[in-house]
Amino acid sequence: MKYDVCIIGSGAGAGPVAYELSRAGKKVVVLEKGSFYKEENFSKDEIAFCRRSIVTPKLKDEYHLIEDKVDGKWQATPTWKSGWDFWNGNIVGGSSNFMSGLFHRLHPDDFRLKSRFGEIDGANITDWPISYEEMEPYYEKVERVVGVSGKVVPHRYQQPRSTKDFPYPATEEQPVSKLIDQTCKAMQIDVIKTPRAIMSVPKEDRSACYYSNYCGSYGCSSGAKGSARAALLQPALKTGNLTIKTGHHVKQLEVDAKGRVRAAKCVHEGKETEIEADLFVVAAQAIETSRLLLNSRSKQFPDGLANNSGQVGKNMLFSAGGVVSGDLDEKVLSPKALFAEGLFVNRTIKAWYFLDEKTKGGISEALWEHANPILRANRSKWSDGGILWGEKLQDKLLERFTKKRNLQFEIFNDWLPNDDCFVTVDEKYRDKYGMPVAKLRIGSHPQNEKIGNILAQKTVKVLEKIGATNIQISIGPYPPQNLQAGGCRFGNDPKTSVLDKNCRAHEVPNLYITDGSFMPTGGSVPYTWTIYANAFRVADVILTV
């Protein structure tokens, strides 16, 4: 069968396109190399989902090469050797199944970073080819369709909205939230309720959140979390126009004599097969999207599909920042309040999104340390003198689980695109399918750490005012694996961008890219809401072609 549209990947960049096009009557196929987990397949098993990572490939079979500087020289290490895993959930719905659902819109100035703040030496900053005003209707659509629960709290950096408030009430909050409010008010710091892509009330076939205390890194067994699977793909299947093919690993995109994509070459159950369509959408997450294009060489595209400009894989983005944390005990909150399980902190400090007229800042996102008991116990074994044993370890574990709780602030600031952060492929290293793996150079611009540390020091003052002890700062140059963007930036000039303003490849008229690859800059917030919104926008464009 030849489909109208073939989508490679099934996460946040794929879901809106599949949802809209299948509802419009298009015959759509989604190719996903993983399995189809549904609500009943998810559990809160830390060993399965965090320690053994059953929803990602074995690193001996599929891996990446990570280039890091060692003694001033770039050195590549395969992730099967380092254990550094850049896979984020290879199942239907992708990494959106395992997000915490912290949803923030970009600010209008994020769309015009170069115009607003000017050049930064060593950074490849550019303005977006679209404006916040063009994206805003799709941010609102995500709120309704995917489901975002929250309460608009006016503040100095509030983005313009077409609606007065979120369509669903905010999720329930832990008692520490009021303490953060009181502290920030006394310090004259703007703090808002964090919007979450988690249903606080039932929506269609999805149940409301039941506050398990296990959210980030875990699939949602109630359907409350706004994953692409629960919110978009499962409803789209009801149209009868969507086919989801699991266990299909796409190796290459084949082009015809006119340079249009003809078919996706896949491996399924050990055999190669081809899926044909009139139009192709790639949304395999940023690293793998660049890798797929670079491996799709042909006579028309000797350096990779849509890469005659040499821009595929360039200007990769992650999220700069880190974590500031401190311990709270019964001197700060009553034991009942401190250990009230399951409820969200739901507080974001946005007072420092812009540090001054010439300097972009970021946000501090409050949350309790991860609920995982194995992780928390393992961290407790360390002391200044080395590893604890016996009664000393027992006493520390008792204190950690019954006397204290660790409050964290995740720092998000811009990861500046630069010439030392990019994806290529390496012919020497191949995965189990025989395809060259992605080689990722992870050079961080010095500004990333500089701003992260400024935000961290400001956050420390908040924790001190709250009454936290054992305050720790962790800000570094290394990127988080789960927040990926860039590599196929969109723009108006085919010489400096891969995609046009509608995320269609400049050189390939029937190829669109709708994961975070399109982003030329990332803003100072998690990317997921913007990826969802842009994918809805591109779906509208495709329907008019």
- pLDDT tens for 263-285 read 999 999 999 999 999 999 999 99
Q: Please indicate, yes or no, if residue 428 is contained in any of the structural domains.
A: yes
Could you tell me which residues come within 8 angstroms of residue 454 by beta carbon, excluding any fewer than 6 positions away? 352, 355, 361
DSSP class per residue in 511-538: EEE-SGGG-S--TTS-SHHHHHHHHHHH
Q: What is the model's pLDDT at position 529?
A: 98
Say if residue 229 is in the same domain as residue 264. Answer: yes
Say if residue 16 is in the same domain as residue 121. Answer: yes
Q: What is the model's pLDDT at position 386?
A: 85
Contact 28, 243 (CB under 8 A): yes
Task: Compute the distance between CA of residue 331 and CA of residue 325 in angstroms, rounded to an integer.
Answer: 17
Q: What is the model's pLDDT at position 1?
A: 83
Say if residue 171 is in the same domain as residue 305. Answer: no
Q: Please indicate, yes or no, if residue 212 is contained in any of the structural domains.
A: no
Contact 44, 218 (CB under 8 A): yes
Instruction: Quick: pLDDT tens for 55-105.
Output: 999 999 999 999 998 888 999 999 999 988 999 999 999 999 999 999 999
Under-50 pLDDT residues of the chain? none
Q: Please indicate, yes or no, if residue 211 is contained in any of the structural domains.
A: no
Contact 543, 537 (CB under 8 A): no
- The encoded tokens of residue 183 equal 């502290």
| Element containing residue 305 per DSSP (H, E) | none
Say if residue 284 is in the same domain as residue 396. Answer: no
Q: What is the model's pLDDT at position 371?
A: 86
Q: Considering its fold, how many domains does the chain have in total?
A: 2
Confidence (pTM)? 0.97
Say if residue 340 is in the same domain as residue 278. Answer: no
Task: Compute the distance between CA of residue 521 and CA of residue 539 in angstroms, rounded to an integer.
Answer: 22
Residues in the chain: 545
Range of the domain at 455: 150-194+320-414+445-478
Could you tell me which residues come within 8 angstroms of residue 358 by beta carbon, excluding any fewer than 6 positions away? 117, 118
**Domain edge (last residue) among 430, 457, 478:** 478
3-state secondary structure at position 21 = helix
Say if residue 333 is in the same domain as residue 462. Answer: yes
Say if residue 253 is in the same domain as residue 271. Answer: yes
